[in-house]
Chain A
Amino acid sequence: MAMNKGKRAKILAMGGLFFCCGCSHSPEPELIPQTETEVVIPVTFRVEPLTNQSDNEQFVKDFNQEFAGEYRMEPNWLIESTSGYRNKLKQWNVLDQLPVLITDAGFDYDFYRVLAENDRLVDLKPWMEASDFWLDAMNPDILAGCTEPDGRVYLSPLGNNVHTYAGIIYREDLLASAGYEEFPQTWEEFWDCLDALKQDGITPLALHGSGSYWVPMLLATAYIYGDAEGKEFLDKRLPDSYQNEEMRELMEFLRRLYGYTFPDALELDYDQTAARLIDGQAALIANGRWMFETIGEENYEKYRFAPFPGGILMNSPQMSAWAVTSGYSDEVTEGAVRALEFRIRCAQDTKDVSDGSALMDSYIAATEMDYRVMPNFQLQWEQEIQNEFFTEYMPGFLAGEIQTDEFLKMMDERVEEIQSKK
């Protein structure tokens, strides 16, 4: 098995090289010559289709520079949306074709369980303990969130939260034209702002209609997290029932949101919506720090980052976690683990994320405020609810064809079904 994986690693590495040569992607092939003793680490990194850039390009260069002669990361640059890449991860897993180093390992709790419970991932705990800085660099809460009940650690998130917050990303100039120098701090002001933008002929919100309804659900969950009941509900993992007052509020909030977005929002996926925001067709979106690469540095002065109204930020370190898959040779596995360790070290070195741009400055300012951190609903709720049920029934609900209680009842029924399947 190890030999097969080793061979596959070479094939993937060669495939990655071929891919890099054949596509129009901007990352340049590295000029560091490979030596015979170098261990090749096959990885697949996503390239943002909108910008044709990958935020891991520099990481690969730095790693190969640092470990020249010892390890060499051979990336397969995959031009794919985030959701597309995550689907690929699932396919690679069932086909036993996972690259040795994977990103977004914790994006889907169920999928993560598939990986963890089938020994598809390498336990990083011994490596962390053997490292002279890795454990120290980890925020204890983040490490705890990534530790299995038996003490194993499969996910390697960045050691601190600074890179993983989500909130509101908005066009400063458009809000200014509507009379808002700063982003509203209460939900009432939020609605007023949306109205003002709308009155100004600007589409206030960039929303989409497929998948887990990520952007609208971020706003909606932030809305209900503002009170104690809502916080209690969202803090609960895999709730048995969604038929409660908080969910009713959330659903009504969702329905109201879609009055401030593109008329065809339900027909768009996340990537199309993001593209419209960057094109200036909408004033704001809800998303995290990771979207900055999609926006592009040249646009950093136009955009600002703000917490959700009520001083709420979403943080989900697991979402950004990387992992090492099992089945590769010891040399390749060790190289992949060294890459994870290197990533943590790099993140430590660049803890101050400010680059002087208005967007980054606003992001730093938001994370330094007195905020509350809400969990990621994607990791709290059943994946099938998000990926299938929402896709199936949310359009009907938003169109008024399905009433809130009916929707929540069906949701509970699906949860029961899912749990029975498990």
Chain B
Amino acid sequence: MKRTLRFQRKYLCIPYVIFLILFIIIPILLIIFYAFTNKQGFFSFDAMIDFFSTPTKISILLNSLFIAVQTTILCLVIGYPVAYFLANKKYNKNGVLITLFIMPMWINFVLRTGATRDLLTWLGVNGGNAPYFATLVGMVYNYLPFTILPLYTAMLKLDKSQIEAASDLGARPVQVFTRNILPQSLPGIISAATMVFMPTISSYVISDTMSEGKITLFGSSIYISFSNNQWNTGSFLALIMLIIIFISMLVTHKFSNEEDTVRGGTW
């Protein structure tokens, strides 16, 4: 029997599989390898012991988590009402307003952050006198479009008759919101929170630019480790970040599993 190599549709995946192996699987394995070896290349827990015994490194991690949580909450608090009104055809005719809101996403975020810093400096608030506030402003400004978009898609799907039904059954306007609109938009909230939390926890360009180097976040400490040739420490920190993101994904996935996974439109 003669075998011929016939084209099959699954071969179309090959480029991506190569990409996956080269740029995702091998780097992860490398990170794990470096995280649990010492400079001589022998198996060791040095990096782990070093991390857990250095209070500054742990405080950097906690600080980053705190900023990420704050950014996420602020983005949701600002983005939720905005998305609610944008989803109303009365205010957002032809989708002009929503385009204005997501337009900043078209500009590279490094440029955007630089501009934000200059604007804040002009207003008299900058990394010099309020590094923490400036960082938070930079973060919220950068990730707000990522919150609005999934929330907006969720709001578009709000079932108006359910809102009427709640009101009909005796729910006051506040109760209509807490018992119907909020649960209905929960998938959007979760996906918005994920969209903000995961990148903020690892970002360092924004904090470096906005605080003028005064605030070191977890991402920056990884960057510093690698640039100082501390590959093992850097890898271990990167591993910790991977685990945190993985856990946060598990949590959000568990939430959104109960609803039909309604992710933001573009993702």
Are A and B co-members of a single complex? no
Interfacial residues, chain A to chain B (CB-CB below 8 A): none
- Residues of chain B touching chain A, judged by Cβ–Cβ distance below 8 Å, are none
